[in-house]
Structure 1
Amino acid sequence: MLTKKRIYTIASWVIVAWIAKVFLSSIPYKFSGHPDTMHIFSTIGSWMATTLSVDLGNFFAQYGAIVVGTAELATSLLLLSPLVLLLKDKMSGQNSAPLRAKIHVLGGLASSGIMAGAVFFHLFTPLGIEVLHEGKSDGGSLFMAAVSILILGLVLCVINLKLCAINLKQIKAE
């Protein structure tokens, strides 16, 4: 029978796998100057230039993809880093579950923070929910991925806070 701790742990890793897949699969687009990515960041940059600051808008249009891509890469590495601890635990018999849960709390918050920005830009700039570029539509897939990670990052945070509480109770009981 699966315990609550085991269910939370499995759910946590499923969420981590989804977030890392989405973030890491977008890295080549963000770092290569892909036309679709350039369209997205120049659209947002133009909006920023007219509503906030010309300099900020120009910076975002030119470097936004690299900044966001770097944040997504760092967050993916953070989320996946507990795999090293898990392997170490298997080899040494130690238990780093409390640390793994804390790392996933931080990774969930970082993921949600990044995607809160993406959701904002989809909803409140000319980018829109459905990105149109060169007569092609993404069908809203980028927006839906951003919303899913925004929500799942928060879920990851909450279930790992619960795992921290369970781990603390177990440590006190020992």
Structure 2
Amino acid sequence: MTTTADRALRILAWIAALWIAYEFLWYEQYKLAGPTLVFDRLSDWSGIPEKPFRLFVASMEICAAVLVLIPRTRVLGAAFAMGIMSGAIVFHLFTPLTVDPYGDGGKLFKEACFTWVMAGFVLFAHRREALDLLRRYAPRIGARIA
């Protein structure tokens, strides 16, 4: 039985899921069109070839966007999105990429942080399903959390 608060959380989680999908899919036009400043800098720093790096990230973001929109896979998509955004945040903070690579006040970094929070919110709103997944596929972790 769900309470009014649970229903409200799930409605808000839909909005958060839509944001995550929009955010990922909006930036695919840049990642799929060709080299970007972000991936050029990261490639120079890491030694990973720019194109495979950029296309790998783009494909992971597309997968997360699709998964987060499907109710049955929403938790997996949110966890995937949170992982992707964790990587983006780490790259912005601890590499030559910096928080403000485009000189626009750190728009990309702020969006990465907000998308990370939205993914966390989706996981919170669907915490029962998230815990069930942990118990099923990572029993050692799931047992400690429960």
C-alpha RMSD of the superposition: 1.8
Shift in Å, 1:5: 2.2
Match of 2:118 in 1: 152
8 Å contact kept, 2:13–2:122:
yes
1:128 and 2:98 equivalent?
yes
Corresponding residue for 1:40? 38
Cα distance between partner residues in 2 of 1:77 and 1:105:
12
Paired residue for 1:139? 105
Unpaired segments ≥5 residues, structure 2: 132-146
1:1-174 aligned at under 5 Å gives the runs: 3-34=4-35, 37=36, 39-48=37-46, 57-59=47-49, 61-82=50-71, 100=72, 103-132=73-102, 137-162=103-128
- Give the letter for the 1:42 counterpart: D
**Cα offset, 1:20, TM superposition:** 0.7
Separation in 2 of the partners of 1:5 and 1:11? 10
Aligned to 1:58, what secondary structure does the other structure show? coil
CA distance in 1, matches of 2:57, 2:29: 12
Q: What amino acid does structure 1 have at the position aligned with 2:79?
A: L
Structure 1 stretches of 4+ with a deviation exceeding 3 A read 162-165
CA deviation after TM superposition for structure 1 residue 138, in Å: 2.7
Shift of 1:107: 1.2
2:42–2:96 Cα contact (<8 Å) kept: yes
Name the CA distance, whole Å, in 1 between partners of 2:70 and 2:106.
Answer: 31
Give TM-score scaled by structure 1 length.
Answer: 0.68
Shift of residue 163 of structure 1?
6.7
Paired residue for 1:97?
none
Higher gyration radius (CA): 1
CA distance in 1, matches of 2:45, 2:130: 42
2:85–2:115 CA contact under 8 A, matched in 1: yes
5+ residue gaps, structure 1: 49-56, 83-99, 166-174
One-letter identity of the residue aligned with 1:47: W
Asked whether the equivalents of residues 75 and 107 of structure 1 are also in contact (C-alpha less than 8 Å), the reply is yes
- State whether residues 8 and 163 of structure 1, in contact with CA within 8 Å, keep that contact through their aligned partners in structure 2: no
In 2, the alpha carbon distance for the partners of 1:118 and 1:70 equals: 15
Contact 1:130/1:139 (8 A) holds in 2: yes
Shift, 1:62, TM fit:
2.7
Is the partner of 1:127 in helix, strand or coil? coil
- Quick one: percent identity of the two aligned structures? 33
